[in-house]
């Protein structure tokens, strides 16, 4: 990539009011350092305290989702701690709202499971999401989940609009891996 390309890349980010962008490997240390930088950056914006807290919460849930579940990892595939996995994360500002977008590779066989978790949330009111959150918080853990199995619900709870998601076949329809995108507005 020539310096001119980097400039165009930066310019597009500026036009789209991207506050923060990271792509590469995610570990707990990186998530924590990015979280600190994001908090300081948000202190310089007009965001209300409530908005900052919700944004931080969405950011952490999404970033830790990459650490736990991205299909591309540097750490051993069976480890549950000290993981390093690949993904990308954007935070931007649009018409007085903030958005957080996260992307990470997932195994194609996980697509159905992710879709089944997210689809029901799209049509739900914020009160319904809160009720479902309360209920799930008190139920047994999902066997495949490394956290509390509440990450998507937390993102949906803290978002001011229904979350958006998509799967993009970057390596063609036959690849066992597809890219999962999730967006929340706050």
Partner 1 sequence: MQNLHIPATSYSPQVDFDFARHQLSLRGESYPENASVFFAPIMAALDAYLAPLDHVRISVDVQLAYFNSASTKAILAVFERLNAAAVAGNYVTVNWHSDPDDDTIMEFGQEIAEDNPALDVHLLELA
Residues forming contacts to partner 1 in the complex (CB under 8 A) are 28, 31-32, 35-36, 48-50, 53-54, 56-57, 60-61, 64, 67, 80-83, 134, 137-138, 141, 146-148, 150-151, 153-154, 158
CB of 79 to partner 1, least distance (A): 10
Q: Where are the beta strands (DSSP E) in the chain?
A: 18-26, 85-94, 97-107, 164-168, 177-185
The three-point CA angle 153-147-181 to 5° equals 55
CB 28 within 8 A of CB 67: yes
Q: Where are the beta strands (DSSP E) in 9-114?
A: 18-26, 85-94, 97-107
The least distance separating partner 1 from the CB of residue 126, rounded to whole angstroms, comes to 12
Residue 133 contacts residue 153 (beta carbons within 8 Å) = yes
Report the nearest approach of partner 1 to the CB of residue 49 (Å): 4
- Compare residues 159 and 178 and give the one whose CB is closer to partner 1: 159
Closest CA relative to residue 13, chosen from 82, 125, 88:
88
Cβ 111 to partner 1 shortest distance, Å: 22
Residue (104 or 154) nearer to partner 1, CB? 154
To partner 1, the closest distance from the beta carbon of 151 in angstroms equals 6
Minimum Å gap between C-beta 6 and partner 1 is 31
C-alpha pair distances (Å), 73 with each of 63, 77, 128? 14, 7, 35
- Minimum CB distance to partner 1 smaller for 13 or for 30: 30
Give the residue with the Cβ less far from partner 1, 158 or 162.
Answer: 158
Q: Which of residues 137 and 168 has its CB atom nearest to partner 1 in the complex?
A: 137
- Cα–Cα distance between 59 and 9 in angstroms, integer? 23
Indicate the residue among 45 and 82 with the shorter CB distance to partner 1.
Answer: 82
- Distance from C-alpha of 70 to C-alpha of 110, rounded to nearest angstrom: 11
């Amino acid at each position: 990539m020539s310096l001119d390309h980097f400039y165009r890349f930066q310019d597009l980010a500026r036009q789209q009011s991207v506050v923060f962008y990271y792509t590469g490997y995610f570990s707990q240390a990186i998530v924590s350092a990015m979280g600190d930088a994001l908090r300081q950056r948000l202190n310089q914006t007009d965001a209300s305290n409530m908005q900052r807290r919700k944004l931080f919460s969405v950011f952490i849930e999404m970033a830790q989702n990459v650490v736990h579940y991205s299909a591309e990892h540097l750490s051993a595939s069976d480890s549950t701690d000290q993981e390093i996995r690949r993904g990308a994360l954007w935070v931007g500002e649009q018409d007085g709202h903030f958005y957080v977008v996260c992307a990470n590779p997932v195994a194609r066989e996980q697509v159905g499971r992710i879709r089944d978790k997210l689809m029901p949330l799209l049509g739900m009111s914020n009160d319904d999401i809160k009720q479902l959150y309360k209920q799930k918080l008190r139920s047994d853990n999902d066997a495949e989940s490394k956290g509390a199995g509440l990450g998507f619900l937390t993102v949906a709870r803290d978002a001011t609009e229904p979350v958006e998601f998509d799967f993009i076949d970057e390596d063609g329809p036959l690849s066992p891996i597809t890219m999962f995108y999730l967006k929340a507005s706050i």
